[in-house]
Amino acid sequence: MKKILTTVFIAAVSLINAQNLKLIVNNYSTTFDFHGTLSAHNFGGGCYPYVTTNSPAMVVVPADSNMSNGNELVYANFKDQYLNSLYPNASWVVQLSATTQTVRAWNHASIAPGGVISANTKWSSSQFQMYYAGTSTPEPSFSGLIGEPQDPCTGASSNISTLYGDVEWFNITTGNVDYSYLQIY
């Protein structure tokens, strides 16, 4: 009986957490390419699971790639991004605790939508470095950790302003829908 109740409880929690999430990156800068990790983690107590792009670790969204020309990055979840996004990420680093880390392919069952890891993570942050468009020359002053503010798991800021451009992270949420935007101007 206890087992059944536990199962029902876990199912209920998973349902509550079954959110409609998306991460959208709009690079409006015409001078700089965006190179950055994209991470999601648990916001419901503790930081794990903690999931980060792995191949490539730094996703590149070139200068002037945004909704205006249809070249924005859209990740719906860890799996479908590989099939539908213009910037597919073939595998993810999955941390279940501070000491356990596994690399999972985009189609691994454990990170599929509706699974425990997917249901308990939300897009959180990006460690990024801007590069002069089309080159391997970084602009050292245009980099940082952008993401959800007041997040002890990352320590990210939601606004970064530099002489070279600005980056912001914001959300638009309603009900179980939560869209996270990373915009570079």
Q: Is 159 in the site for other proteins (CB under 8 A)?
A: yes
CA–CA gap between residue 53 and residue 40 (Å, rounded): 9
Q: How far is the CB of 162 from other proteins (least distance, A)?
A: 13
Which residues, 20 to 59, sit near other proteins by CB under 8 A? 26, 28
Among 17, 43, 62, 168, binds other proteins (CB under 8 A): 168
DSSP for 77-133 reads STTHHHHH-SS---EEEEESSSS-EEEEETT-GGGSTTSHHHHT-EEEEEEEEEEET
CB 72 within 8 A of CB 28: no
Enter the tokens of residue 139: 């602009």
Least distance from other proteins to the Cβ atom of residue 176, Å: 10
Stated as kind and residue range, the H or E segment containing 2 is helix 2-17
Q: Hey, which residues between 57 and 76 contact other proteins (CB under 8 A)?
A: 66-71, 74
When binding is defined by CB under 8 A, the residue of 30, 100, 136, 150 that contacts other proteins is 150
Instruction: Give the nearest distance from C-beta 177 to other proteins in angstroms.
Output: 5
Name which of 26 and 91 has its Cβ closer to other proteins.
Answer: 26
Closest CA to 113 of 91, 86, 80: 80
Rule CB under 8 A: say whether 102 interacts with other proteins: no
Residues lying near other proteins in the complex (CB under 8 A): 26, 28, 66-71, 74, 84, 147-150, 158-159, 166, 168-175, 177, 179-181, 183, 185
